[in-house]
Structure 1
Amino acid sequence: MVTRIVPWVSGAVYGIVLLAGLYYVFAGLGPANTARLAGFVAGIGALFVLEAVERRVARMPVAFLAGRLVLFFAVAALDESGLSRVLFVLVPFAAYLTFGRAAGLVLGGLCLALLVGGFAVWVPGWYTDTSYVSDVLMFTLGLVLALAMADVAVRERRAALRVAELSAEAERNRLARDIHDSLGHHLTAVSIQLEKVAAFADRDPAVAGQALADARRSVGHALEDVRTSVGTLRGGGRSLVGALTELGVALDVHGEEPALDPATVTTLYRAAQEAVTNARRHGGAAQVRVSVTFGAVTSLVVTDDGRGFDTGEPRSGFGLLSLRERAALVGGTVTVDSEPGTGTRVTVTVP
Structure 2
Amino acid sequence: MKMPWVSGAVYGVVLLAGLYYVFAGLGEPHPLRVFGFVAAIAVLFVLDAVERSHAVWFLVARLVLFSVVVALDESSLSRVLFVLVPFAAYLTFGRTAGLVLGGLCVSLLVVSFTVWVPGWYRDANYVSDVLMFSLGLILAVAMADVAVRERRAAAKIAELSAAAERSRLARDIHDSLGHHLTAISIQLEKASAFTSRDPSVAARALADARESVAHALEDVRTSVSTLRTGQNLTAALASLDVAVEVDGDEPDLDRATVTALYRAAQEAITNARRHGQAETVSVVVTFGLADIRLVVSDNGRGFRLGESHNGFGLLGLKERAALVGGSVTVDSAPGSGTRVAVTVPRS
TM over 0.5, shorter chain: yes
Aligned residues: 344
Partner of 1:260: 253
The one-letter amino acid paired with 1:31 is E
Given that residues 226 and 232 in structure 2 are in contact (C-alpha distance below 8 angstroms), is that contact kept between their aligned partners in structure 1? no
Match of 1:290 among 283, 291, 300: 283
> Retained in 2: the 8 A contact 1:338–1:344?
yes
The aligned residue for residue 40 of structure 2 is 43
- d(CA) in 2 for partners of 1:322 and 1:180? 9
Corresponding position of 1:5:
3
2:114 pairs with one of 120, 127, 132:
120
Q: Shift of the alpha carbon at 1:280?
A: 1.4
After superposition, the C-alpha distances for 1:312-340 in whole angstroms (9 at most, x for unaligned) are: 44555111111111122223332211122
Alpha-carbon distance, 1:160 to partner: 0.9
Question: Counterparts in 2 of 1:1-351, with a 5 A limit?
Answer: 2=1, 4-7=2-5, 9-54=6-51, 58-231=52-225, 235-237=228-230, 239-296=232-289, 297-350=291-344, 351=346
Contact 1:228 1:237 in 2 (8 A): no
Distance in 2, matches of 1:283 and 1:180, equals 18
In the alignment, structure 1 segments of 5+ residues that lack a partner are: none
- Structure 1 window deviating more from structure 2 (211-220 vs 30-39): it is 30-39
Identical pairs, percent? 72
For 2:204, the aligned partner's letter is Q
CA offset digits 1:240-282 (Å, max 9, x no partner): 3333233232333334444433333322221111111111111
8 A Cα contact 1:232 1:262, kept in partner: no
Q: Determine the C-alpha separation between the residues in 2 that align with 1:90 and 1:345.
A: 65
Amino acid of the residue matched to residue 234 of structure 2?
V
Relative to structure 1, the CA distance from residue 322 to residue 337 in structure 2 (aligned partners, 3 Å threshold; closer, same or farther) is same
Q: Would the alpha carbon gap of residues 153 and 185 (structure 1) be closer, same or farther in structure 2, given more than 3 Å must change?
A: same
Contact 1:305 1:344 (C-alpha < 8 Å) held by counterparts: yes
Structure 1 residues 128 and 257: alpha-carbon distance in aligned structure 2, compared to 1, 3 A threshold = closer
Distance 1:53 1:347 in 2: 59
User: Structure 2 unaligned runs (5+)?
Assistant: none
Q: Per-residue deviation at 1:295?
A: 4.1
2:219–2:239 contact (8 Å) kept in structure 1: no
CA contact (8 A) 1:305 1:343 kept: yes
3-state SS of paired residue (2:225)? helix
Asked whether the 8 Å contact 2:187–2:209 carries over to 1, the reply is yes
Distance of 2:158 and 2:286 partners within structure 1 = 37
Tell me if structure 2 keeps the 8 A contact 1:264–1:330: yes
Deviation at 1:230? 2.9
Distance in 1 (CA, whole Å) between partners of 2:117 and 2:258 is 76
SS across alignment from 2:239 = helix
Question: What is the Cα deviation at residue 128 of structure 1?
Answer: 3.3
Alpha-carbon distance between aligned partners in 2 of 1:109 and 1:322, rounded to the nearest angstrom: 54
Opposite residue 17 of structure 2, the aligned amino acid is A
Question: Residue 33 of structure 2 aligns to which amino acid in structure 1?
Answer: R
CA–CA distance in 2 between the matches of 1:63 and 1:298? 61
Q: For residues 50 and 61 of structure 2, what CA distance do their matches in structure 1 show? A: 12
Note the C-alpha offset of 1:34: 3.4
Q: What CA distance in whole angstroms lies between the structure 2 residues aligned with 1:118 and 1:342?
A: 90
- The TM-score normalised by the length of structure 1 is 0.90
> For 1:329 and 1:146, how far apart are their aligned partners in 2?
40
> Comparing 208-217 with 16-25, which one deviates more in the overlay?
16-25
Other structure's SS at 2:53 match? coil
Q: Does structure 1 conserve the Cα–Cα contact (< 8 Å) formed by 2:82 and 2:105?
A: yes
Distance change in 2, residues 1:343/1:47 (3 Å):
same
Deviation track 1:177-208 (CA, whole Å, cap 9, x = no partner) reads 10110111111111111111121111111221
Question: Within 2, Cα distance between the matches of 1:343 and 1:271?
Answer: 17
Report SS of the residue matched to 1:247. coil
CA distance in 2, matches of 1:25, 1:344: 86
- Across the aligned residues of Structure 1 and Structure 2, the Cα RMSD in angstroms comes to 2.2
One-letter code aligned to 2:194? F
- Mapped to 2, the partners of 1:242 and 1:125 lie a distance apart of 84
Structure 2: distance between partners of 1:259 and 1:14: 51
Cα deviation, residue 28, structure 1: 4.0
